[in-house]
Amino acid sequence: MNHEHIKAKSPRRLKFQQHRNYHLILVTMIALLIAGAYGFYWWHYSNKFVVTNDAYIAGNLIPLKAQTSGTVIDVRVDNTQFVKQGDVLVRLDGLQAQVTLEQAEANLAQNVREVETLFSKSEMLRQKMVSQESILHRNQRDLARYRSVANEGVVSAQQIENTEFQVREQEAEVAQLRAELSGAEALIRNTSPVDNPKVLQAIAQFKQTYLDKIRQEIIAPVSGYVAKRSIQIGDQVHPETSLLIIVPLDYLWVEANFLENELVNVQPGQPVEITVDLYGSKVVYHGDVLGLGAGTGSVFGLLPPDNATGNYIHIVERVPVRIGLKAEELQANPLRPGLSSFVQIDTRSKGESVLKPLTPTMNYQTDVYSHQLENVDILIRKIIEKNRKSKM
């Protein structure tokens, strides 16, 4: 009976085994297909590209600081506003600066007069010394004549002695005048009342106070958008007081942080595709690798790691990669520094050596401060002419 029961179940077990084998074969084929697809993807795509979402838009953040002291009386801009280079953004109370400028003007006038007096004194001493030297030479000749006829009894011994005393006194007086003249000429030698060191020092002081007066109006060094305004009317500011930040948006780039083991094939010049969370995947920016950072982020941290101390734990570091953006794409879809982005570098393209970055040489400069002393020389010339005895 048991034998018949086993025979009755054999076809059912056989069918189950066949069904199970079919599933095993199907699962195996699916696994092989997935592995093959991944292998194909890795060989033709994944190993040719490196990607990261640890990437951010970067740009120039230009701080605007006070260059002189004063009280804020006028704030003309606010966050998000666009300002042009040279615009007056903040004004300070200029009363103290005006008083200081008037003091510097009076000091310059006084120094010009004092130098003029030095020239007059020097000339007076020179003329006086010439006069005394003439008298001395005359008395020396007289003394020589008296001595030549002393044996003949024409001149008394008393007269010769008096003449000798006169010559000694006049020699001492001439020596004193010569010393005084030398001291006076040392203060004016190779100079004029215009370029004397005493006058030049007063001119430098006047220029500084004039500059402090001009800088009571704080201007924009570049064009851009105002951010992080922290200044208010009534604030007392000093040099280096931070007022606000100006952000130019016409030149931005991407700072992408890749794992160190992903950078073996990354080179400057390779094409890059970038998407930004702000616009999503519908807007794709195209750029190029400009260069690789000279060190990992940890090296430039406030407290760089010292693996020689304590227990060592291996951590895969990240290296910043600078990626340029196209100006026309930024114009079409503006970005802001700090926005998160996703970066994909095509390493199939041959680039330049990592020792030859393609980061453009930017000539960051502004000329808004170079004109602030334009009129000061005219004003100084007028002050000097007014206080000289003879005009220049």
List the structure tokens of 351.
Answer: 């680039």
pLDDT band at 40 (very low <50, low <70, confident <90, very high): low
| Cβ pair 358, 352 in contact under 8 A | yes
Indicate the pairing of strand 49-59 with strand 242-247: unpaired
- pLDDT per position as a tens digit, 134-146: 877 877 787 777 6
In the chain, the percentage of residues whose pLDDT exceeds 90 is 47
- pLDDT at residue 66, as a whole number: 94
Sorted by where each begins, the domain ranges of the chain are 96-193
- pLDDT per position as a tens digit, 186-217: 667 777 778 888 889 999 999 999 999 999 99
pLDDT band at 1 (very low <50, low <70, confident <90, very high): very low
CA-to-CA separations, 141 to 134, 294, 320, in angstroms, rounded: 11, 88, 94
39-53, 59-73, 94-108, 230-244: the lowest-pLDDT one: 39-53
Interatomic CA distance for residues 83 and 372, integer angstroms: 20
pTM here is: 0.74
